[in-house]
């Protein structure tokens, strides 16, 4: 350091500023500067991370105008007044006056920064805060100001270091143990009593003028000089310290005059005092408490101030540069990284990005000319891996949420052969690339796949690596890479940012490359994964299908990208000052407790809105967070929704602001108030999944990765192209569950969802006109709201009620029937009068006989309304996507009753037995299922009145649904056919098997019974399910297979993420199935649903025992009834006896059962 000190002496003899060449600096210090001084601007930045600049800063100089090209830099003197010192006004402001108190608070904030910059390494990552001045009601403002921090532990459980001024005109620097530090006070008392001699030795090392004291209720009880400690003081500690409001301190005091006289040297005195107090704080403090997290780590853990990937990219880039490069990068490098990871975003501008990110990170970075430098005092070296991992996860979440708008792939890749100890690994990481060898193959960028394959076969005959090479060529920009060491570990995840490159290299390097950005997530070992196995990651390069979503979940750091696993209740009051819009947005600011936790939970968080009345909880509705909008940077935000659901009225609901709020019973209230860190005053409370489900009445199931949005879109593509497909696979793999999920989502995709109110109203009228023509009626429109359907025998009168979209409650429709409407309806028979209500919010309608309204619906009432419905009246009805309900006319009931049979029902206009057009129907095929049941057939009926049998032709389920689809031609209809392989396909479909084809939809055929023309509409889709354990795919009707798409669903072990005792369910099922596969019976595997209950993994020994006793063992005995050896190989010993009978003991005793499981499947035991 001597040479660098010489440079300090050189500075003392300079004027206000000067420029100097690098070689002159070397001459003064007597040694060469490191090469980094010639390469990196950060070496010369105004930071004390390198010795020369540390001397410069100590001498109160700074650098500017660096020129690496000419190897020259300028230094200038800093102004002394930048340093903090106390002035008389600081002490005079320690009063009970609001203005003065707030002045002193601002001064202490300045002092806070100065102390932080002067603390030694003894105070790593201090959490420094400034005491807030305040007034309680009529009381005066605080007459005491302070700042405090702690070295280890938490604010409430630590020996604090404090600086304070009070109205006694003195400055105190001390260790302080507050009244809130209950456990720390207990520890202090114990340490002083049991180790009194050690305590005295430490105290006596402090200067004699230091004070030691006790307070109670903020009043000084006793204070002594260090030299005066005696047995009386020890007794006082024993008496006072156990009291709840007691406080303990060791202090050094400066008079007002002395503190001001020190001027800027007061900082040295304060920091010197803190250093002397370190040993006593360690003696008194609770041992083994955590060192506080650094400001940077706290920031990346949940204080991102914008919802882009800019901030994590900047922090990650600087941390990756490392100590050798002073955690710095040029602005140009940062810009390139941000542009690289924002790809082709239309709303992206690099200037806007930099203008946003640099001010947002000003607490953590310095910007000098062309360089960005991470401040050395905002992070700890040992926290770097954790910070990098969190930044990588945040970049990944942004990538999944904002960048990936189309299909993408997840690929596993090996860094070379495991036999050669993965020779490419270091190069992968250092060069931010992935690649494969086979270096004899030259540049393939301009070759077709067939040309590449030909060259591969010529160069590497019988190599067996073509599939891996071929897969590598299919990797594209934005795809995700899972870098592994085979079954050993996931080394890292990456995002592909470049196209194919060829590099002319020799072994052990790789010629064929693609650039990636590594996300610093590894290593991750198999036991840390939801499915604790990497058995499918052994090939050079392969597209992940079954475990794609699992890898996305692991990378994002959440259970699922599309569905987060965090739940909150959010207070919403009618008179709230926040700008909430019910069901649309929830507004909150940075002063709201738990807002950081909620923002960190992010998109996909499930929330329930609540209010409190007379101390009890009432709930408005619930929804999943779609987006978090920034209203004002760092200050307030909006949660937005697109699936918000209001609760329906119940007997104990209350009405607020026109909504019915669900009452939270005592069980719900108790559960909420028992959640961790609950505070009754908080507007945001994190709750458990169980509480959420109990309030909403909805079970949140763990969906298979196969049912993510991306995969659902794939099924949509199949349906649109083929019009029908079937799932096939072993029993219990979720075929029917997935079919229903796909069908429900597909139904939502109807064209009507994008219709305006006017367009949908016209669409409903067109349907009425179409069905009228089919029934030989003519439509006459009287007014916009009144229509007549008539033929020579009958007249039907309909009043149309249009409910506009964008209502506060999207399901609630108000229906007012005036006297003129009554007069219009009364001109036909009672049974021919209808009110048809169109709800444009959900694009559905309900057809209600007017007589039914008068008899059942509870009317709104009032002076001008006829309660019998014969004159003017009104009522409310709730119309949903696929159902409807209304308040009953029973005055003793507050419940809504179902009238879903009238939803989307136009047949009821012509036939009182008319059925609604359900968009989803399900049927199960079996061996005796017939054409007559499916299409149409003669059904004998006996008329008891005339004692005669008639033979009408009745429509089967397929024909009925086809008629509905033809009528509702702008909406999607789906028929699910379970066990499609068990029916006689040719017999059931008959002449319509050809009509199923996409290009033959709409072509008419004559049906054999009715002799009427019939066609399969284009908007009717079929999803089948097929159990391959019953019948192999090979034996399925060839005509069916040609016309149906096919998709295999196999057991999914990743969703069996629970353990029962030592048994991991996913591994247990995988082991059972591997034995079945090894025996040559792949189609007879056991599906994951046998280990699930209500959409979630089973969790108890008894549930597992039940699954084996009544599902698994009987199924295996049936599948392998003629082969004892296979059955015993699969089940092991203990489940069945020598006669193949189930052993009763394990069914009756769960402990016996668990021992048998552990013995039979040891691989599943952890």
Residues 1035 and 943 in one domain: yes
Same domain, 443 and 365: no
Domain membership of residue 349 (yes or no) is yes
> What are the tens digits of pLDDT across the range 246-256?
999 999 999 99
The pLDDT of residue 1108 is above 70:
yes
Strand runs (DSSP E) across 450-548, as ranges? 480-484, 490-496, 501-502, 512-518, 541-544
List pLDDT tens digits, range 289-300. 666 778 888 888
Does the residue 762 lie in any domain?
no
- pLDDT reading at 892 higher than 60: no
Q: Are 1046 and 1058 members of one domain?
A: no
Do 336 and 229 belong to one domain? no
Residue 893 banded pLDDT, cuts 50, 70, 90: very low
Residue 782 has pLDDT above 60, yes or no: yes
Mind listing the pLDDT tens digit for each residue in 339-387? Answer: 999 998 877 889 888 988 888 888 899 887 788 999 887 888 888 999 9
Residues 1094 and 1113 both lie in one domain: yes
* 1011 within domain boundaries: yes
What is the C-alpha radius of gyration for the chain, rounded to an integer number of angstroms?
A: 38
Angle at 1097 between CA 1079 and CA 670, to 5 degrees: 170
Do 984 and 1070 lie in a common domain? no
pLDDT value for 308: 81
d(CA 902, CA 914): 9
Distance CA 899, CA 920 (A): 18
How would you classify residue 676: left for phi > 0, otherwise alpha for psi between -120 and 50, otherwise beta?
beta
pLDDT digits (tens, 9 = 90+) for 500-529: 999 988 878 898 999 999 999 989 988 777
Residue 464 has pLDDT above 70, yes or no: no
Q: What is the mean pLDDT of the chain?
A: 85
Q: Which of 78, 109, 138 lies at the terminal end of a domain, its last residue?
A: 78
Is 724 in the same domain as 855?
no
Q: What is the pLDDT of residue 704?
A: 43
> Among 152-156, 318-322, 1021-1025, whose mean pLDDT is lowest?
152-156
Q: Is 147 exposed, middle or buried (0-12, 13-18, 19+ CB in 10 A)?
A: buried
What does the DSSP assignment read for 896-915? EEE-GGGBT--GGGT-TTPP
Choose among 751, 790, 794, 792: nearest CA to 768.
Answer: 790
306 or 1132, which is more confident?
1132
Residue 860 lies in a domain: yes
Write the pLDDT tens digit of every residue in 538-565.
Answer: 788 988 877 887 888 788 875 433 345 6
pTM, two decimal places: 0.48
Last residue of a domain, one of 403, 422, 440: 403
Residues 1030 and 924 in one domain: yes
* Residues 1046 and 1059 grouped into a single domain: no
The Cβ of residue 520 has, within 10 Å, a number of other Cβ atoms equal to 23
pLDDT digits (tens, 9 = 90+) for 675-730: 877 888 889 999 988 898 889 876 444 444 344 555 666 788 788 888 999 999 89
pLDDT value of position 630: 76
Q: Give the pLDDT confidence score for residue 151 in this predicted structure.
A: 78
Q: Tell me if 821 is assigned to some domain.
A: yes
Neighbours of 289 (CB within 10 A): 17
Same domain, yes or no: 500 and 613: no
Query: Where a domain ends, among 234, 251, 284?
Result: 284
What is the per-residue pLDDT for 3? 66
CATH number, domain of 421, equals 3.10.590
Residues 6+ apart with CB under 8 A from 1061: 1101, 1154
For residue 1016, being part of any structural domain is answered with yes
Per-residue pLDDT at 135: 60
> Are 879 and 837 contacting, i.e. CB atoms less than 8 angstroms apart?
yes
Give the number of other Cβ atoms within 10 Å of residue 808's Cβ.
13
Query: Count of domains in the chain?
Result: 8
State the pLDDT at residue 1045.
Answer: 86
Dihedral sign, CA of 115, 116, 117, 123? positive
Q: Which domain holds residue 439?
A: 410-556
Percent of the chain scored above 90 by pLDDT?
A: 32
- Provide, rounded to the nearest whole percent, the portion of the chain with pLDDT above 70: 92
Residues 396 and 440 in one domain: no
CATH code of residue 237: 3.30.930.20
664 domain-assigned: yes
3-class DSSP string for 11-52: HHCCCCEEEEEHHHHHHHHCCCCCHHHHHCHHHHCCCCCCHH
The answer to whether position 672 is within a domain reads: yes
Instruction: Please tell me which of 113-117, 890-894, 921-925, 936-940 the model is most confident about, judged by mean pLDDT.
Output: 921-925
Question: Has residue 637 got a pLDDT over 90?
Answer: no
- Does 107 lie in the same domain as 73? no
Read off the CATH number of the domain in which 934 is found. 3.40.50.300
Q: DSSP secondary structure string, 639-669?
A: EEESS-EEPPP-TT-EEETTEEEEEP-HHHH
Which has more pLDDT, 594 or 642? 594
């Amino acid at each position: 350091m001597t040479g660098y000190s010489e440079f300090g002496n050189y500075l003392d003899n300079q004027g206000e500023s000067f420029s100097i060449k690098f070689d002159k600096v070397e001459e003064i210090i007597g040694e060469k500067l490191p090469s980094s001084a010639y390469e990196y601007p950060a070496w010369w930045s105004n930071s004390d991370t390198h010795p020369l600049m540390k001397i410069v800063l100590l001498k109160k100089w700074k650098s500017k105008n660096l020129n690496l090209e000419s190897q020259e830099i300028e230094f200038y003197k800093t102004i002394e007044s930048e340093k903090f010192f106390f002035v008389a006004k600081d002490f005079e402001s320690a009063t009970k006056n609001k203005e003065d108190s707030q002045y002193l608070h601002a001064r202490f904030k300045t002092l806070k920064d100065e102390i932080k910059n002067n603390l030694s390494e003894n105070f790593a990552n201090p959490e420094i805060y400034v005491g807030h001045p305040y007034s309680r009601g009529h009381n005066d403002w605080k007459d005491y100001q302070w700042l405090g921090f702690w070295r280890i532990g938490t604010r409430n459980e630590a020996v604090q270091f404090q600086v304070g001024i009070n109205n006694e005109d003195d400055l105190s620097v001390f260790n302080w143990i507050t009244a809130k530090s209950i456990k720390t006070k207990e520890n202090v008392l114990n340490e002083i009593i049991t180790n009194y001699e050690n305590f005295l030795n430490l105290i006596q090392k402090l200067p004699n003028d230091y004070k030691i004291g006790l307070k109670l209720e903020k009043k000084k009880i006793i204070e002594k000089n260090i030299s005066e400690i005696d047995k009386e003081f020890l007794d006082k500690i024993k008496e006072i310290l156990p009291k709840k409001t007691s406080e303990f301190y060791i202090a050094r005091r400066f008079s007002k005059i002395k503190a001001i006289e020190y001027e800027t040297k007061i900082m040295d005195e304060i920091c010197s005092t803190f250093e002397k107090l370190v040993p006593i704080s360690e003696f008194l403090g609770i041992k083994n408490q955590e060192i506080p997290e650094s400001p940077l780590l706290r920031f990346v853990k949940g204080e991102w101030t914008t919802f882009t990937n800019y901030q994590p990219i900047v922090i990650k880039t600087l941390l990756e540069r490392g100590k050798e490069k002073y955690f710095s990068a040029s602005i140009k490098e940062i810009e390139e990284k941000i542009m690289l990871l924002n790809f082709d975003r239309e709303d992206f501008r690099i200037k806007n990005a930099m203008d946003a990110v640099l001010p947002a990170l000003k607490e953590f970075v310095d910007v000098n000319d062309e360089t960005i430098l991470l401040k050395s005092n905002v992070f700890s070296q040992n926290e770097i891996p954790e910070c990098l991992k969190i930044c990588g996860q945040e970049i990944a979440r942004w990538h999944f949420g904002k960048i990936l708008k189309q299909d993408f792939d997840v690929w596993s890749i090996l860094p070379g052969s495991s036999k050669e100890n993965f020779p490419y690994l270091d190069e992968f990481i250092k060069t931010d690339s992935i690649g494969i060898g086979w270096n004899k193959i030259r540049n393939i960028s301009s070759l077709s796949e067939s040309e590449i394959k030909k060259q591969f076969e010529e160069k590497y005959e019988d190599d067996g690596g073509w599939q891996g090479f071929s897969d590598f060529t299919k990797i594209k920009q934005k795809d995700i890479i899972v870098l592994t060491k085979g079954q050993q570990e996931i080394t890292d995840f990456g995002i592909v940012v470049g196209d194919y490159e060829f590099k002319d290299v020799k072994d052990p390097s790789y010629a064929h490359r693609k650039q990636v950005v590594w996300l610093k997530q590894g290593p991750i070992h198999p036991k840390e994964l939801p499915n604790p196995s990497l058995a499918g990651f052994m090939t050079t390069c392969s597209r992940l299908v079954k475990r794609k979503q699992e890898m996305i979940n692991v990378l994002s750091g959440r259970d699922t990208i599309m569905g987060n696993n965090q739940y909150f209740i959010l207070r919403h009051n009618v008179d709230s000052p926040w700008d909430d819009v019910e069901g649309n947005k929830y507004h909150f600011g940075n002063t709201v407790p738990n807002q950081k936790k909620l923002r960190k939970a992010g998109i996909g968080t499930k929330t329930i809105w609540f209010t409190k009345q007379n101390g009890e909880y009432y709930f408005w509705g619930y929804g999943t967070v779609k987006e978090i909008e920034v209203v004002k940077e760092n200050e307030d935000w909006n949660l937005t929704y697109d699936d918000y659901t209001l609760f329906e009225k119940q007997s104990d609901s209350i009405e607020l602001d026109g909504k019915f709020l669900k009452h939270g019973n005592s069980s719900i209230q108790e559960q909420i108030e028992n959640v961790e860190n609950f505070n009754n005053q908080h507007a945001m409370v994190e709750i458990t999944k169980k509480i959420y489900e109990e309030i909403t009445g909805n079970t949140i199931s763990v969906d298979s990765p196969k049912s993510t949005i991306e995969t659902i879109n794939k099924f949509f593509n199949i349906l649109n192209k083929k019009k029908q497909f079937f799932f096939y696979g072993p029993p219990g793999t979720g075929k029917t569950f997935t079919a229903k999920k796909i069908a429900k989502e597909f139904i939502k995709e109807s064209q009507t969802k994008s219709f305006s109110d006017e367009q949908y109203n016209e669409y409903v009228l067109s349907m009425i006109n179409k069905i009228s023509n089919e029934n030989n009626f003519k439509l006459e429109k009287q007014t916009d709201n009144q229509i007549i359907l008539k033929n020579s025998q009958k007249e039907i009168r309909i009043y149309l009620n249009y409910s506009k979209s964008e209502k506060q409650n999207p399901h609630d429709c108000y229906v007012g029937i005036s006297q003129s409407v009554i007069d219009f309806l009364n001109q036909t028979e009672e049974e021919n009068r209808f009110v048809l209500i169109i709800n444009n919010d959900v694009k559905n309608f309900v057809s209600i006989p007017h007589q039914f309204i008068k008899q059942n619906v509870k009317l709104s009432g009032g002076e001008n309304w006829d309660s019998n419905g014969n004159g003017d009246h009104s009522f409310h009805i709730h119309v949903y996507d696929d159902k409807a309900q209304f308040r009953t006319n029973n005055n003793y009931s507050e419940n809504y009753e179902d009238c879903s049979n009238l939803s989307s029902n136009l047949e009821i206009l012509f036939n009182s037995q008319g059925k609604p057009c359900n968009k989803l129907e399900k049927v199960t095929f079996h061996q005796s299922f017939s054409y007559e049941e499916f299409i149409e057939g003669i059904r004998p009926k006996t008329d008891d009145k005339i004692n005669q049998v008639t033979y009408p032709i009745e429509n089967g389920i397929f024909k009925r649904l086809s008629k509905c689809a033809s009528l509702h031609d702008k909406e999607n209809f789906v028929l699910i056919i379970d066990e499609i392989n068990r029916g006689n396909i040719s017999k059931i479909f008959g002449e319509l098997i050809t009509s199923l084809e996409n290009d033959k939809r709409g072509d008419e055929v004559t049906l054999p019974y009715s002799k009427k023309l019939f066609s399969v509409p284009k908007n009717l889709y079929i999803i089948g399910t097929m159990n391959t354990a019953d019948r192999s795919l090979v034996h399925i009707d060839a005509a069916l297979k040609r016309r149906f798409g096919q998709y295999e669903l196999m057991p999914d072990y990743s969703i069996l993420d629970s353990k029962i005792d030592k048994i991991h369910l996913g591994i247990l099922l995988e082991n059972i199935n591997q034995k079945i596969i090894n025996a040559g019976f792949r189609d007879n595997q056991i599906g994951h649903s046998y280990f699930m209950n209500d959409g979630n993994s089973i969790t108890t020994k008894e549930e597992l025992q039940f699954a084996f006793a009544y599902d698994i063992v009987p199924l295996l005995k049936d599948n392998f009834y003629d082969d004892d050896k296979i059955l015993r190989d699969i089940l092991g010993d203990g489940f069945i006896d020598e006669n193949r009978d189930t052993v009763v003991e394990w069914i009756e005793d769960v402990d016996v059962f668990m021992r048998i499981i552990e013995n039979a499947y040891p691989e599943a035991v952890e």
